Amino acid sequence: MQTIIAPSILAANFANLQKDIEMVNSSSADWFHLDVMDGLFVPNISFGMPIVKSINNLTSKPLDVHLMIVDPERYINKFVDLNASIITVHYEACKNLKETLKKIRFNNIKSGVAINPETPINVIEEFIEEADLICIMSVNPGFGGQKFIKNTYNKIEKLNEIIIKNETSTLIEVDGGVSNINAEKLINLGANVLVSGNYIFKAEDPLKNINLLKSF
């Protein structure tokens, strides 16, 4: 399959968000990646419903909502109402992960599980049937613009083995520090979705960088 590119809005210019959204609309990127942070699960607060609503009003591309919040099951219905196409919750933040994933799927939305860099990938096996997407964090969640953690490569390989063994069609997403330097290797190892913030939005020519990621 063609790699899905999901620009992370966290790195966009919030003083002129419309311009950056229109840039993504006109690009070959596939999804909008929206990082919602609560200041509890991660040491940062990003944005919430009003921004998600505004973005939804300006695009027809799918919204890939990454919830970095404690007990995310509390807010699934809210993001369903805001037209999310994918809702990803953290393994480390969820009291009852299976039920939360079922709740997401019940709304005909893709269910995702994100795992932190220090969490071993094998914990995912128990939930692989309920997850449409696994998001391997390649930085510690909370901030954009961090350095890519190379152990991500091993995690993709192991996740692939789990997916093959369980015969699921789970998508592998990689999030954090993704650029032209690591994209090709990530794709060759089996990544299906690349999230990228700074490499796209802080570039002189964002469209060119999106095309580059798409070309591998």
Least separation in angstroms between CB 200 and ligand DX5: 8
Identify which of 35, 10, 9, 34 has the alpha carbon closest to the alpha carbon of residue 22: 9
Residue 139 binds to ligand DX5 (criterion: CB under 6 A): yes
Distance CA 178, CA 6 (A): 11
Catalytic pick among 20, 30, 35, 38: 35
Phi then psi for 114, rounded to 5 degrees? -100, 145
Q: Is 132 a catalytic residue?
A: no
Joined tokens for residue 134: 């696994």
Residue 61 binds to Zn ion (criterion: CB under 5 A): no
Q: Give 33's strand partners.
A: 8, 64
Residue 142 binds to ligand DX5 (criterion: CB under 6 A): yes
Distance CA 92, CA 71 (A): 10
Among 145, 154, 157, 208, binds ligand DX5 (CB under 6 A): 145
Q: Is 38 a catalytic residue?
A: no
- Catalytic positions are 35, 175
Positions touching ligand DX5 (CB under 6 A) are 8, 10-11, 33, 35, 66, 139, 141-146, 175-178, 195-199
Positions touching Zn ion (CB under 5 A) are 35, 66, 175
